[in-house]
Amino acid sequence: MTDGILTAEQILTAAQDVLRRYGPAKATVVDVARALGVSHGSVYRHFPSKTALREAVTQRWLEESHAELGIVLASDAPAPVRLREWLGALFRAKRKKALGDPELFATYTVLVSESSKVIDRHIADLVGQIRQIVEAGVARGEFAAPDPAAAARAVFDASVRFHNPAHAADWSLPDIEDAFAALCDLILRGLEPR
């Protein structure tokens, strides 16, 4: 590959492969450049530091992992249905990543812990999506929530077992689906108009 046609997307793909191969502790920008057949300076033209590259890889992974959430968010289904589907989509995405590629998931768990700004933005976006669903439910009379932002944050926090990587070991438990359904039922009952 020549340096002139190198794209940020190619770099991110190579960085993901390098991270999978070497892990976050040993992967370097030089390794990424070597995988692409370019100088490390070419990588730095797109990403000014190793931290910037790792944050971009983390951001890309989070966006890819949660693509289904946007589809659920755009749905015109009743808010209780959308909220349950949204929480389910988030849980499925996290579980698929954790159980389907545990080595890469472990790598991203390390990257996520290093990328507090990326994670803060990501969590704010997720809570914002829940807020949109709650607000729509309130507007339709399907939910009662005097403060949709606080309700959204409470829903996010209450469902932490099903999306926070710290709980990944639970995601393969035999009763995890029942536990998830019970939590969704409880959340939805709490949002019902009285």
pLDDT digits over 85-115, tens only?
999 999 999 898 888 877 777 777 776 777 6
Q: What is the pLDDT of residue 135?
A: 98
pTM above 0.85, yes or no: no
Is residue 34 helix, strand or coil?
helix
Enumerate residue ranges in the chain where pLDDT < 70.
1-4, 111, 115
Residue 4's pLDDT is 59
The CA distance from 170 to 162, in Å, is 8
Structure tokens that stand for 135 in this block: 């607000």
Give the model's pLDDT for residue 64: 79
Q: Both tokens of residue 5? A: 């046609």
Q: Do the Cβ atoms of 20 and 12 come closer than 8 Å? A: no
Confidence at residue 3, expressed as pLDDT on a 0 to 100 scale: 47
